[in-house]
Structure 1
Amino acid sequence: METQALEKTFATHDEFNRKPIAENIIKLLTSPIDLSPMVIDGGWGTGKTEFCQKLIRLMQQQHPDYQPVYIDAFRSDHSGEPLLALLAEIIKACTPPEGSDKKLIEKHKDRIRRIVKAAGFLMKTVAKAVVGHVLKQKWEDLLEEGISQITNDGQEAKNAAATVAGVATTLASHSIDATIDATVEALLKEQIEAEKNLETLKTCLKDLAEDKPKPIILFIDELDRCRPDYAVDMLEVIKHVFDIENVKVVLVTNTKQLRAAINHRYGAEVDAQKYLDKFLKYSFALPEKVVAQFEEERALVAIEYFKQLIRNSSMAGELRGLIGQEAILNLISDMIERNNLSLRETERLVRFLEIYHSLSHGLSAECAMAYRLLRVVGVFVFCFYPNLMDNINKNRTDAREFAQLFNIKSWPDIPINYGNCKHVDVIAVMLILHSKIEDSHLASLNAHDKVYWEKEINECFFGNPSFGHYYDGIDGVLSVLKNTFQVLSFEQAPQ
């Protein structure tokens, strides 16, 4: 496992104004407050890894006497030994530089030998416990096979039962009992020895870390991407081995996935959050909005990221209308917010918009606004709602699916100032009203509201001369969505 290269810094990349957050974390990590292990929480695709790397680089700049160590847990997942993965990184971080005093080097080597011996014994003890369990299981399996074989040989049920009972009694009183007793006795002895080795290991790690002027800080990333068993094993190792002075642990992960891993290991009846609360001492989530002093200055991180991606796109010149025109940007912003897109999902959306425009030029400023609005919605459906796309293609439109797409649980409110309604609401109401399958959760519009929304729909689409499909009504709207799907599916030749 290698320490990942750190290239980006907050000085060069801080699109979401997260440097103040990093500075507060560093302030806590360099304080005497006991908050290890702590968690930097965030969903998949929220930029946790990049934030962690920039945080480490900032700490290296501000506190060169500290020793931050980045560990990608997912890269060591295949090894199945989280203890070894963590020890390797600590030993690497504490290795004396070349040209150091020979006595210092020998002292370091001696500590490593003691660490390896203690760690090896601990893993061997665990392995033997497993072997003891497997051995018992093997005897039970053999007994079951014996029962089956005797029965299948055609013996009378009474004689078979007596024979099996005799065999079971003999095995239980001699072989199994003797084997299990011996195994338990050995395991009890080794458990006592394991406790000694655990204390030895912790003492060696403490001594190793004390050679550093300041604590070693382990930033363990990508734990939420690991196999559930490995993720829980890593948590157990941190809990039992790394509760030592001069070593701090920071988990950069999605705690929702960690809770799922814990339930996978111990069962759904276990309170996974309480399990984590027993040893995690501090947790906070990366904010979904750009950090700003005033609420009105804040924006969802994913929306800011979308604008940044468009500006940096190789097709920025052609796609500038997506962020340059308020109506288009507002529609996309609303769709991102209503669907709670992660940063990774936002990247996916931009990539598909680029693909669509490259093949069709259908998002250029020269195209009528009505077409561009619907095509953006079409790209969004293609990206994230394949079942809805399939139903639209089959003319099996379902109001419930459109309500989910626009995250609508009731009819949108009519704005106080008529004419200032959102395009996303106009499109949502239009698709829901004209779906073949109704949504029972959306009661019929009252007469006043229906008049209002029909007027808005007509102005934007059904009665808009710049929308060439206006005479087709809802069929024309759906045909634009279908055409968008066909382009992205490569069913149409490039224009």
Structure 2
Amino acid sequence: MTELVEAMTFATRDEFQREPIADQLINLLTSEIEISPLVIDGDWGTGKTEFCTKLKHKLENQTDYRAVYVDAFKADHADNPLMTILSAVLSLVDKAEKQSLRDKALPVLRLGVKVAGKAFVSHLLRTDSETLQAEVARELDKAADEVIDSAVHSMLKDHEEAETNIKALQKTLEAVAKDHPIVIFIDELDRCRPDFAVEMLELIKHTFDVSGIQFVLVTNMKQLKAAINHAYGAGVEAERYLDKFIKFRCVLPENYRRTGDSYQRERRASVEYLVAALAKSKTLEGTRLATEQNKVTEFAKELVSRKSCSLREVETFVRHLEIYHQLTGGLNDRDPFGFALIRIFGVFVYCFHIELAGSIRARKLSEESIVKALGESFIEVTEVRKADSDTICTITGLILQDIEGTTSADEQSENKVSDVTRAKRDWFGIRGLYEGQLLEVLRDAIMTFSLGARA
């Protein structure tokens, strides 16, 4: 987490009107309902980490609860989720409580180290024996069996003590959280190694299920389910498995309404984020993208909305628009705005449809490659010849016409003038487009990111 995100509150930034969601979550966390572990679910790049940080600050400021943030992805290299969670709790308690908690935690931590160490030795002895000559291998196998027998005996003894040690740790944790409850926010669980993510979930359920300590897991549930299947096999019902651990799930919405909006009007968070990012961009100052109410910005919004871009994908798109304009100046208003639309479409394709970008670079573009890359639901290819189609469909129609090299007589007739034909007349100035020009403009936009390499 960056320092900027770490310092954020809803008072400093709340473009997507998510503070009411935080208020309701705090209401649940501070109630008598058994709500932990609670999941804040959302696709990658939807602003989960920022929301988590703001929620944590709000919880700390409005209640007597203590809260701590854990980046599970950064911690998984240590391969010890118990140590990760205990370190987080220790960061919240005073000196006297720290010593008591350490004393109770050490036996539990030692058990994990001993079991892992013995399993490793057993595996190592057996693996190495396979590479040795048969006679030596038999002797090693015999020695290995003796070591394993001894290890198993020792493990059984350790596990007999484990329950006692875990109960002692739980009592200490409960005492630590009695007067000032603790909420542990665990972020990026979906990005961890599958085995680490599973171990973290099971540890929360079996060791940290104590009064006064609650967990908020900030994750993408689809990816977490994939981690479960990776750890246990595709035959495991990940949804049912997770039901054993998770008490409540809150999905961050992609759409929202501002105060004063009508009930029918919902705004897409990614589109609003795009508009704000374009307006703040110093590089794009003076371009048509710097203001919201024009055909060029509306087209960029259309692309983001149709693809259902995440907030992170919006950042990627805007950054590449800035790079393109920095290198070419191609988004200013010196040319008819139709050229800006084609260039923006080229940047979009480069960002999110790399195979299609490759086809355009290689001059091997076809209707089939467009449909395959973007999907019929994206471009509504059957609509591109009709009147009153949206800008994406019109742009696609122009591309298809350039591939085919002709405009049908039916489309040229005065009785049926499609948006595609009208766009050629209205979007590209008096000179219009010569055959093949649009594809070259599109290709040049994509080739810009090769930084001068031409083909």
State whether structure 2 residue 254 is matched by structure 1 residue 288: yes
Counterparts of residues 57-72 of structure 1 (less than 5 Å)? 57-63=57-63, 65-72=64-71
Counterparts of residues 479-494 of structure 1 (less than 5 Å)? 479-491=440-452
Deviates more, 1:14-23 or 1:365-374: 365-374
What's the counterpart of residue 164 of structure 1? none
In the TM superposition, residue 86 of structure 1 has moved relative to its aligned partner by 0.9
Counterparts of residues 16-415 of structure 1 (less than 5 Å)? 16-63=16-63, 65-96=64-95, 105=96, 108-131=97-120, 133-134=122-123, 138-139=125-126, 141-142=128-129, 145-147=132-134, 175=143, 178-210=146-178, 213-292=179-258, 294-321=262-289, 323-409=291-377, 411-413=381-383
Q: Percent identity?
A: 35
CA distance 1:298–1:464, shift in 2 (3 Å): closer
In the TM superposition, residue 290 of structure 1 has moved relative to its aligned partner by 2.2
Residues 39 and 250 of structure 2 are in contact (CA less than 8 Å); yes or no, is this contact kept in structure 1? Answer: yes
> 1-side partners of 2:311 and 2:91: how far apart?
33
Q: 1:424 aligns with which of 371, 375, 392?
A: 392
Residues 275 and 292 of structure 2 are in contact (CA less than 8 Å); yes or no, is this contact kept in structure 1? Answer: no
In the TM superposition, residue 306 of structure 1 has moved relative to its aligned partner by 0.2
The size of the alignment, in residue pairs, is 446
In the TM superposition, residue 453 of structure 1 has moved relative to its aligned partner by 8.5
In the TM superposition, residue 26 of structure 1 has moved relative to its aligned partner by 0.8
Deviates more, 1:4-13 or 1:248-257: 4-13
Deviates more, 1:339-348 or 1:453-462: 453-462
> 1-side partners of 2:428 and 2:252: how far apart?
47
Residues 121 and 197 of structure 1 are in contact (CA less than 8 Å); yes or no, is this contact kept in structure 2? Answer: no
Residues 368 and 467 of structure 1 are in contact (CA less than 8 Å); yes or no, is this contact kept in structure 2? Answer: no
Q: Does the residue aligned with 2:54 lie in a helix, a strand or coil? A: helix
Could you say what the CA RMSD is over the residues aligned between the two structures, in angstroms?
3.2
Residues 82 and 203 of structure 2 are in contact (CA less than 8 Å); yes or no, is this contact kept in structure 1? Answer: yes
> What is the CA deviation profile of residues 321-342 of structure 1, one whole-angstrom value per residue up to 9, with x for unaligned ones?
4543432233222211222211
Q: What TM-score, normalized to structure 1?
A: 0.81
Residues 115 and 205 of structure 1 are in contact (CA less than 8 Å); yes or no, is this contact kept in structure 2? Answer: no
Residues 115 and 155 of structure 2 are in contact (CA less than 8 Å); yes or no, is this contact kept in structure 1? Answer: no
Residues 317 and 348 of structure 2 are in contact (CA less than 8 Å); yes or no, is this contact kept in structure 1? Answer: yes
> 2-side partners of 1:272 and 1:202: how far apart?
28
CA distance 1:465–1:40, shift in 2 (3 Å): closer
Residues 309 and 350 of structure 1 are in contact (CA less than 8 Å); yes or no, is this contact kept in structure 2? Answer: yes
CA distance 1:479–1:144, shift in 2 (3 Å): closer
In the TM superposition, residue 421 of structure 1 has moved relative to its aligned partner by 2.4
> 1-side partners of 2:373 and 2:417: how far apart?
21
> What is the CA deviation profile of residues 194-217 of structure 1, one whole-angstrom value per residue up to 9, with x for unaligned ones?
12111122122112222xx33100
**Amino acid across the alignment from 1:146:** Q
Q: Does the residue aligned with 1:396 lie in a helix, a strand or coil? A: coil
> What is the CA deviation profile of residues 50-96 of structure 1, one whole-angstrom value per residue up to 9, with x for unaligned ones?
11111111122221x11111111222222111111110110110125
Residues 306 and 350 of structure 1 are in contact (CA less than 8 Å); yes or no, is this contact kept in structure 2? Answer: yes
Q: What TM-score, normalized to structure 2?
A: 0.87
Residues 39 and 282 of structure 1 are in contact (CA less than 8 Å); yes or no, is this contact kept in structure 2? Answer: yes
In the TM superposition, residue 310 of structure 1 has moved relative to its aligned partner by 1.0
**Amino acid across the alignment from 1:337:** S
> 2-side partners of 1:373 and 1:18: how far apart?
33
Q: Does the residue aligned with 2:276 lie in a helix, a strand or coil? A: helix
**Amino acid across the alignment from 2:419:** E
> 2-side partners of 1:272 and 1:450: how far apart?
58
**Stretches of structure 1 lacking an aligned partner (at least 5 in a row):** 97-104, 151-166, 437-444
**Amino acid across the alignment from 1:145:** L
Q: Does the residue aligned with 1:35 lie in a helix, a strand or coil? A: coil
> 2-side partners of 1:465 and 1:223: how far apart?
49
In the TM superposition, residue 253 of structure 1 has moved relative to its aligned partner by 1.1
In the TM superposition, residue 288 of structure 1 has moved relative to its aligned partner by 0.7
CA distance 1:465–1:52, shift in 2 (3 Å): closer
Residues 464 and 470 of structure 1 are in contact (CA less than 8 Å); yes or no, is this contact kept in structure 2? Answer: no
Residues 40 and 250 of structure 1 are in contact (CA less than 8 Å); yes or no, is this contact kept in structure 2? Answer: yes
What's the counterpart of residue 161 of structure 1? none
In the TM superposition, residue 399 of structure 1 has moved relative to its aligned partner by 2.0
Deviates more, 1:367-376 or 1:257-266: 257-266
**Amino acid across the alignment from 1:73:** A
In the TM superposition, residue 25 of structure 1 has moved relative to its aligned partner by 0.7
Q: 1:476 aligns with which of 437, 440, 444?
A: 437
Residues 114 and 204 of structure 1 are in contact (CA less than 8 Å); yes or no, is this contact kept in structure 2? Answer: no
**Stretches of structure 2 lacking an aligned partner (at least 5 in a row):** none
Residues 94 and 209 of structure 1 are in contact (CA less than 8 Å); yes or no, is this contact kept in structure 2? Answer: no
State whether structure 2 residue 1 is matched by structure 1 residue 7: no
Deviates more, 1:264-273 or 1:321-330: 321-330
